[in-house]
């Protein structure tokens, strides 16, 4: 059905082109826009000829066929070969992103956690409390270098905006 309507549309378009080109010009055209009367601008009333009627009929048939082609489904395969290959190579569902553990580094892509690990656990080991006391740390004094853009020691840190 689609191929038949498309063939009719192409034949109608060719016939419409021939009929329009065979018509005699009304004279003046766009050159009459500068200071002419409305009769010459709009073309004046002419006798209705066979070519004029054929032009209207071919134009109307063209519009109806174009509308019908937009509503009729294409026959055969709806997808082209390229679309089929893209569907075959595209992942079916996006990979879920696991939340980062507190204080841990992000897991490497493709790394799987051990069988006994929690679903949100990262592949890097989380330090566990041990019997030995942690090493004493020295409080940061004024002689310590601060990273650029860091807040003063007494001021709260500014919240960060997520990147888009």
- Could you give the angle at which helices 2-22 and 50-71 cross, rounded to 10 degrees? 150
Report the alpha-carbon distance of residue 13 to residue 19 in Å, rounded.
Answer: 10
Mean pLDDT for the stretch of residues 64-71: 94
Segment 95-111, tens digit of pLDDT: 667 777 787 665 566 65
Segment 40-52, tens digit of pLDDT: 555 666 778 899 8
Query: How many of the other CB atoms lie within 10 Å of CB of 72?
Result: 13
Residue the block writes with tokens 């082209």: 80
Looking at the predicted structure, is the pLDDT value of residue 32 above 70?
Answer: no
Report the alpha-carbon distance of residue 46 to residue 133 in Å, rounded.
Answer: 106
> Which DSSP letter does residue 145 get?
-
């Amino acid at each position: 059905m689609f191929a038949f309507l498309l063939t009719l549309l192409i034949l109608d378009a060719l016939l419409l082109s021939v009929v329009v080109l065979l018509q005699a010009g009304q004279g003046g055209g766009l050159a009459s826009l500068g200071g002419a009367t409305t009769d010459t601008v709009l073309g004046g009333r002419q006798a209705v000829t066979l070519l004029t009627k054929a032009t209207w009929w071919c134009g109307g048939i063209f519009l109806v066929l174009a509308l019908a082609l937009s509503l009729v489904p294409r026959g055969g395969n709806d997808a082209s070969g390229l679309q089929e290959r893209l569907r075959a190579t595209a992942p079916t569902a996006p990979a879920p992103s696991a939340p980062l553990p507190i204080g841990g580094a992000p897991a490497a892509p493709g790394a799987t956690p051990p069988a006994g690990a929690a679903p949100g656990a990262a592949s890097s080991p989380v330090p566990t409390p041990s019997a030995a006391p942690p090493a004493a740390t020295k409080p940061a004094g004024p002689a310590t270098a601060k990273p650029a853009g860091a807040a003063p020691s007494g001021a709260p840190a500014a919240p960060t905006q997520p990147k888009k």
